[in-house]
Structure formats: C-alpha cells, structure tokens
Amino acid sequence: MDTLAERQRTFDADQMAVASFILALPGLLLFNLVLGPCAIMLAVLALVRGTRRPFRAGLGLTLGIADLAVLAVTVVASHGTFWHA
C-alpha cells in the first residue's frame, strides 16, 4: 500500500515534471541561460523521484538541453557578443 509520504513524493515528482516542461518551452526563445538548466534539473529530479509522467519529464529534459543548444548557436552566430550598443 502507498503511504501518505510516498503519494506526496510522487505528486511532487509529477509537479516537477510538468514545471520542467513549462519552463523549457519559453526557454527556447527567452532566458535560455536560466530556464534551460532549471528545466533540466527539475526533469532529472522528477525522474529520480519516480514520476508518473516520465514522458513529460523527458520532454522537459530534451527541451532544456535544446535551450542550451539554442543559446550556444546564438552566441557562436553573433561572434560571442550578447549585446550590441
């Protein structure tokens, strides 16, 4: 039988999986330096804690990595400058 603590842990892991996905989506266009690592961290924590939404956590993880890839491509394409005065 599931104890209350186990159900709460699973619920928290499910919420982390959803938060990972939600943070990773806007991270593709905005604030990818911050949102990408946050999405990756939440997705990994959700998977380790045994979420019932592993597909959502996997999407969050994949999109979080894509956020960092977009950032890398943008920095390389702009020759390393973040801000044009």
- Per-residue confidence (pLDDT) for residue 82, from 0 to 100: 66
User: pTM to 2 decimals?
Assistant: 0.86
- Per-residue confidence (pLDDT) for residue 48, from 0 to 100: 94
Label residue 48 exposed, middle or buried (CB < 10 Å: 0-12, 13-18, 19+): exposed
CA distances from 65 to 5, 6, 9, 39, 70 (A): 31, 29, 25, 9, 9
- 10-residue block means of pLDDT along the chain (85 residues)? 81 93 93 94 94 94 95 85 66
